[in-house]
Structure 1
């Protein structure tokens, strides 16, 4: 960096420097020492990588986001969530150079006061933080003001997750209309997401190898009817499935049939796939009729995951079956369902006693009767 300080005819001092792009920046000071301190700060910023050019810092958060977002390879849903997060941000119009931690804290406080769920607040802050970190990397912002801010506590996974009982699932399956039963079965016994159920075609059901290929999902987007694209997080996968599920699907194909030239499993519209809101409408009717209003379709995916874990499947197996982008996502979501050290110790001890003493568990319960 080229820098200098010169005294002007009026007695003030002119400090100037050229940045890495050759642009000159200057400021005037009454005292030489103040000019030198300013240049020292600029030099330190360039050395540590926190330097921000005056012009870059004048850009607002929204202005930076709109330019940065155009360079990102996002799915439609991701762009929609990012747009919403930035629009809802109370400091979207503030210049980057003026952003402070207090801006972020006030925004979080306002969202909490408005009654937004902690999970929603975490998601919006995470999205805006990704923009702020991008601004730091582009040297439009010296530090991320959202770093280390306090967020409202999320519910523990084991308390927030509602897993239907086998009896609930049986009632939902038995109570569903014939054409709707595959929705219940695919979610509960293959872990498919709503959009993935909508996107299933006959060719995706592999009867001989006993697998289902998840190759697409159907999503409704604002301003559009529906969009057919790859599964969430690019989670195309092949799921080994039970013979009983294949029998259900086979009976559905024979008795209800498939739809359109692409042989959609569920009846759609104009030769295309079924709309997500159609599924949601019939799901709400089904749960209301059975007095299971609190059960969401996505809860059947949790039911499937819990069954895999209870059967001894490892993290990677569950991750692949559910189409999670990483094993850490699976652990963050379902770690409370895996047996802990106490459970394993207790089970091992019981096995030792069963083998050595042949004491049936029932005798322990009736010994004091």
Structure 2
């Protein structure tokens, strides 16, 4: 590594300096160095101080193993996309489609043509905070801010891409390492009461629709999981449904959200209903098809759902997913513990279950309050008994002392 003066050349024999052909043209000082991959390269500067500072920095970075070659400093964010997406072949197809949507709608337009080496933490934080969407906004309307959960997903994806850049030795470290994640507020879940449940079931006049509602309300399945059930997934003897697949918006089979399989319990009544539905049918056929015998698509179910809400007199903003929350709330009210609910919902851990539904175990809070009262009462009685025994001993001691004196 050397700092070279491009405006002057030195005669090797005499040591005399003379002006070069580049004198007065362009930057004067050049730093020549070899990067960690053995590539010879150089960078020019206007002043000797800048060149010396860069030269010293190159020496430090080579010692630390963080020196990036000149060609890699030119890598654009869009060049990371395909290598990064290739590492996500294990995710569910729906998740993969979400990544592609995030990239095309939010990341690529802002960061695609940016050099990876020039990305700074504060720029990304400001960008994430200002993310908006036009989805569901009327024509001519103002874009709405994305939810905290959506911002977090996009930030996590972009952060993962930058981590991939580190592994590809494009940058020495991610500018987002140690950055705080967008806050995700607690979602306001809606739990249907018994009157609303009955109204919804009464509004379902078609048997296929009513059976789908029954399953969602009494098992806590995700909608895609219920759509993806096949006749062979019903185990009447064990009273179980085997959850092995999901169905996407277009009715195509996909992996489950967590890519994990599980068994979900059924009541005796649900077993009878599903047995009647499955009787005489091909084991590979869908257990809960639409009224035409085909797999449910999101577009078809959305029309049915909107009509159900209107006929049942429920608010139009209610989502089908709230049936899952309602099922969990009923299971907890019936005495199910956290581990049972975890298995029923297919959560990765009990922590996820508690974060989502911990507030529903209110009877535990009531018990804790009563336990405190019982403990206080018990302690008072114990102390009173102790004091009574102590007073009795003192009294007995005084009587013995009087007898001795007499």
What TM-score, normalized to structure 1?
A: 0.80
Deviation at 1:205, TM superposition (A): 1.1
Mark the CA change 1:268 to 1:241 in structure 2 (over 3 Å): closer, same or farther. Answer: closer
Q: Is contact 2:208–2:291 with CA below 8 Å preserved after alignment? A: no
State the match for 2:367 in structure 1. Answer: 344
The partner residue of 1:236 within 246, 261, 284 is 261
SS in 1 for 2:32: strand
1: CA distance, partners of 2:356 / 2:58: 45
2: CA distance, partners of 1:283 / 1:189: 18
SS in 2 for 1:17: strand
Deviation at 1:81, TM superposition (A): 1.4
The partner residue of 1:264 within 280, 286, 294 is 286
Q: Is contact 1:199–1:218 with CA below 8 Å preserved after alignment? A: yes
SS in 2 for 1:232: coil
Deviation at 1:152, TM superposition (A): 6.3
Deviation at 1:6, TM superposition (A): 5.2
Cα deviations across residues 53-78 of structure 1 (Å, max 9, x unaligned)?
33223122122112321233233222
2: CA distance, partners of 1:57 / 1:78: 31
Aligned residues: 344
Deviation at 1:272, TM superposition (A): 5.3
State the match for 2:271 in structure 1. Answer: 246
Mark the CA change 1:110 to 1:41 in structure 2 (over 3 Å): closer, same or farther. Answer: same
State the match for 1:164 in structure 2. Answer: 192
The partner residue of 1:138 within 162, 168, 185 is 168
Query: For structure 1, which segment, 82-91 or 184-193, has the greater mean C-alpha deviation from structure 2 after superposition?
Result: 82-91
Listed as ranges, the gaps of 5+ residues in structure 2 are 10-27, 133-141, 379-406
SS in 1 for 2:258: helix
Q: Is contact 2:329–2:360 with CA below 8 Å preserved after alignment? A: yes
Deviation at 1:276, TM superposition (A): 3.1
Deviation at 1:162, TM superposition (A): 1.4
Deviation at 1:47, TM superposition (A): 4.9
Deviation at 1:299, TM superposition (A): 0.5
SS in 2 for 1:233: coil
Listed as ranges, the gaps of 5+ residues in structure 1 are 356-369
2: CA distance, partners of 1:205 / 1:350: 48
Mark the CA change 1:239 to 1:56 in structure 2 (over 3 Å): closer, same or farther. Answer: same
1: CA distance, partners of 2:337 / 2:63: 47
Mark the CA change 1:318 to 1:24 in structure 2 (over 3 Å): closer, same or farther. Answer: farther
The partner residue of 2:328 within 296, 302, 305 is 305
Mark the CA change 1:209 to 1:111 in structure 2 (over 3 Å): closer, same or farther. Answer: same
Cα deviations across residues 206-248 of structure 1 (Å, max 9, x unaligned)?
111111101111113xxxx542122112121111222222133
2: CA distance, partners of 1:290 / 1:184: 13
The partner residue of 1:273 within 295, 300, 321 is 295
- Indicate the RMSD between aligned Cα atoms, in angstroms: 3.3
